[in-house]
């Protein structure tokens, strides 16, 4: 039966306060706590509480036939625990239905896998324990920050015991195959089968998606690929009056979903949870759309909703995905240039991770926590100098006047942290 996999990324970073060269050596508290709380309150009221209440009602209404998945960053879980325990409780209530899967990721929503496998494993382990503590689930599904993915990451996730990993359904990974299939991770396979093109590049589920031959590098971990066109129809285009499909109704969208019908079809709709109420305001009609969508999809008797782990257990892969290069769900390139595309970002990350050995040798929990919070990918995203097609997106999410201001502020903080570490080592 065709399955719809609805997954939401939920994340709010610990934003940094304005930190000048005159603060170095004098102020070791880097967070803008007032701004963090203000923004958390806003998103909680606009998105988290109303969306969670809506999803809970849908789960009850459809008696478990409606199912969703979340990945909530550790830094957000910490903020909710302190400032909005009611929101955390609402996520826990969703988990108690048995219809919600909570995924694992790096605790600090970091790029750690790119720089330190040890730090990556430590963060994944911490997030896994936190999810178990708060939601009572042993993680089966892994997704790295912003759906970053390659062969090495898939092998690492498999070694950590995960059964399935999420990735972007980019053409660089798929060739002409459909993202609406389950694949296995692969280390060295070459050829792709002949795929089928359809609306949104999703294929019709009947193309030749079989792999030519599995090599010795094929892994057991399964890969679910985001249907980025269908996902972005909601995330980015929903309220755009310039879009030829505007207005997007639940009936129209369900019709597109039903058009992808086929044996073994899995339609992965992955997006930021903040889409609902924050990026797409309530006034756009996004909540009524979400409320009607499950019923419209389930009108087709062949279709079901399923979580990533459920799909991994039920559906066999049709082929393998060879991903020697890193990909992500960001921007038109779907690569890592949003976080590591210029010398500012590369310099900042290089210095930050260069402190790892000394920071950990200090055995100071406060220093370690500060260092890890500086790993959050948002800080590097703010330094992005890409404009053109992606510029409006980067400017919208950037609290700094320019990427250069973001870099200077970050490096001032990193300078202070480095001095603290050196002082601690000498003592």
- Contact (CB, 8 A) for 267 and 225: no
Would you state the structure tokens that stand for residue 338, as one six-digit string? 């949003």
What's the rounded Cα separation, in Å, for the pair 363 and 197? Answer: 55
- Contact (CB, 8 A) for 116 and 353: yes
Does a structural domain hold residue 329? no
- For 200-227, the DSSP string reads GG---S-S----S---TT--S-EEEEE-
Query: Residue 18, Cβ neighbours under 10 Å: how many?
Result: 11
What is the reported pLDDT for 261? 86
- Closest to 303 measured CA to CA, from 249, 250, 259: 259
What is the reported pLDDT for 199? 39
Does a structural domain hold residue 328? no
Q: Are residues 405 and 350 in the same domain?
A: yes
Instruction: Tell me the CATH number at 259.
Output: 3.20.110.20
Q: Are residues 288 and 368 in the same domain?
A: no
Residue 277 DSSP code? T
Largest CA distance in the chain: 69
Cis before 305? omega within 30: no
Q: Are residues 231 and 304 in the same domain?
A: yes
Q: Are residues 168 and 315 in the same domain?
A: yes
Mean pLDDT by 10 residues, the chain (427 residues): 96 97 98 96 98 98 97 98 98 98 98 98 98 98 97 97 97 93 74 34 37 46 97 96 97 96 90 97 98 98 97 95 94 91 97 98 96 98 74 61 96 98 90
Q: Are residues 309 and 354 in the same domain?
A: no
Residue 248 DSSP code? P
Does a structural domain hold residue 332? no
Helix (H, G, I), strand (E, B) or coil at 323: coil
- Closest to 186 measured CA to CA, from 323, 308, 335: 323
Does a structural domain hold residue 201? yes
- Which residues does the annotation mark as catalytic? 146
Q: Are residues 420 and 291 in the same domain?
A: no
Q: Are residues 166 and 204 in the same domain?
A: yes
What's the rounded Cα separation, in Å, for the pair 217 and 28? Answer: 47
Does a structural domain hold residue 331? no
> Which domain does 372 fall in, by range?
337-426
Does a structural domain hold residue 283? yes
Q: What is the pTM of this model?
A: 0.91
Q: Are residues 48 and 82 in the same domain?
A: yes
- Closest to 182 measured CA to CA, from 65, 95, 306: 306
Which residues, 6 or more positions from 203, have their beta carbon under 8 angstroms from its beta carbon? 177, 178, 179, 180, 181, 195, 196, 197, 209, 260
Does a structural domain hold residue 327? no
What's the rounded Cα separation, in Å, for the pair 175 and 323? Answer: 11
Q: Are residues 302 and 365 in the same domain?
A: no
- What's the Cα-to-Cα distance from 334 to each of 91, 226, 236, 272, rounded to whole Å? 30, 12, 15, 16
What's the rounded Cα separation, in Å, for the pair 258 and 229? Answer: 15
- Contact (CB, 8 A) for 268 and 306: no
Specify the number of domains making up the chain. 2
């Amino acid at each position: 039966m065709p399955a719809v996999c609805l997954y939401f990324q939920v994340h709010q970073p610990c934003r940094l306060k304005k930190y000048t060269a005159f603060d170095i050596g004098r102020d070791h508290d880097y967070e803008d706590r007032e701004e963090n709380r203000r923004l958390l309150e806003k998103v909680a009221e606009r998105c988290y509480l109303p969306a969670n209440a809506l999803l809970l009602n849908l789960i009850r209404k459809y008696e478990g036939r409606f199912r969703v998945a979340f990945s909530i960053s550790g830094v957000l879980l910490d903020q909710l625990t302190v400032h909005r325990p009611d929101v955390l409780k609402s996520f826990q209530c969703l988990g108690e239905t048995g219809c919600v899967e909570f995924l694992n990721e790096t605790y600090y929503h970091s790029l750690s896998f790119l720089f330190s496998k040890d730090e990556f494993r430590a963060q994944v382990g911490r997030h896994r324990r936190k999810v178990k503590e708060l939601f009572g689930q042993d993680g089966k599904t892994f997704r790295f920050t912003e759906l970053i993915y390659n062969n090495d990451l898939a092998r690492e996730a498999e070694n950590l015991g995960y059964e399935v990993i999420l990735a972007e359904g980019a053409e660089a990974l798929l060739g002409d195959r459909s993202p609406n299939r389950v694949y296995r991770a692969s280390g060295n396979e070459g050829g792709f089968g002949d795929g089928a093109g359809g609306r949104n590049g999703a294929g019709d589920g009947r193309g030749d998606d079989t792999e030519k031959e599995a090599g010795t590098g094929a892994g057991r971990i399964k890969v679910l690929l985001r249907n980025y066109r269908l996902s972005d129809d909601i995330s980015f285009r929903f309220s755009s009056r310039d879009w030829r499909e505007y207005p997007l109704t639940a009936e129209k969208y369900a019709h597109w979903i039903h058009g992808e019908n086929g044996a073994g079809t899995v339609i992965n709709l992955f997006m930021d949870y903040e889409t609902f109420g924050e990026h797409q305001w309530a006034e756009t009609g996004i909540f009524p759309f979400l409320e009607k969508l499950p019923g419209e999809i389930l009108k087709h008797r062949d279709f079901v909703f399923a979580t990533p782990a459920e799909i991994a257990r039920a559906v066999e892969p049709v082929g393998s995905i060879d991903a020697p290069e890193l990909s992500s769900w960001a921007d038109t390139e779907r690569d890592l240039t949003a976080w590591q595309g210029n010398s500012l970002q590369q310099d900042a990350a290089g210095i930050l991770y260069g402190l790892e050995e000394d920071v950990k040798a200090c055995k100071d929990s406060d220093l370690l926590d500060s260092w890890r919070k500086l790993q959050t990918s948002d800080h590097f995203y703010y330094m992005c100098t890409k404009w053109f097609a992606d510029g409006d997106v980067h400017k919208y999410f950037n609290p700094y006047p320019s990427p250069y201001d973001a870099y200077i502020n970050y490096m001032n903080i990193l300078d202070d942290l480095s001095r603290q570490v050196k002082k601690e080592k000498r003592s």
